[in-house]
Amino acid sequence: MGYMASKKSLEINPDHSIMKTLCERVDKDQDDKTVKDLVVLLFETALLTSGFSLEEPQSHANRIFRMIKLGLDITEDDEEEDQTAAGSSEVKAEKIEGAEEDASRMEEVD
């Protein structure tokens, strides 16, 4: 049945505004990490919309988070401040009376 499988292809429209802008940015700086992330993100998004799965979904998610931070002008310094503030304001959860009994009753119902 391998002979009937269709060959996978990726079509790129060179006249699309995204492709034109990416080409311009690559011409300016071939080592631009943002452009590399955008190109890989574009490819992985094409895979997902075509029904394929990603080999490294966590890398895809990290790439998206970097693009969101870039769009929101969040710097690494801002991120470190957020982590420090979150660590200092942790509140211990109080034990709720009767919670263990309620949990065991739920198990009995099942």
Contact of 36 with 44, CB cutoff 8 Å: no
Percent of the chain with pLDDT strictly greater than 70: 65
For residue 56, the model assigns a pLDDT of 93
The more confident residue out of 92 and 62 is 62
Q: Residue written as tokens 């998004």? A: 45
* 32: Cβ contacts below 8 Å, ≥ 6 apart: 25, 26
Distance CA 100, CA 90 (A): 24
For 9, 26, 47, 71, the CA distances from 14, given in Å and listed in that order, are 16, 14, 19, 24
Nearest alpha-carbon partner for 23 in 37, 39, 11? 39
Judge whether 19 and 13 are in contact, CB under 8 Å.
yes
pLDDT of residue 27: 95
How far is 110 from 23, CA to CA, in rounded Å? 59
Where are the chain's structural domains?
A: 30-80
Q: Read off the pTM.
A: 0.60
5-55 pLDDT tens trace: 677 778 889 999 999 999 999 999 999 999 999 999 999 999 999 889 999
Mean confidence (pLDDT) of the chain:
80
Please give the pLDDT value at position 95.
58
pLDDT at res. 28: 95
pLDDT at residue 11, rounded to an integer:
86
Give the tokens for residue 59: 């890398």
Q: How confident is the model at residue 110 (pLDDT cuts 50, 70, 90)?
A: very low
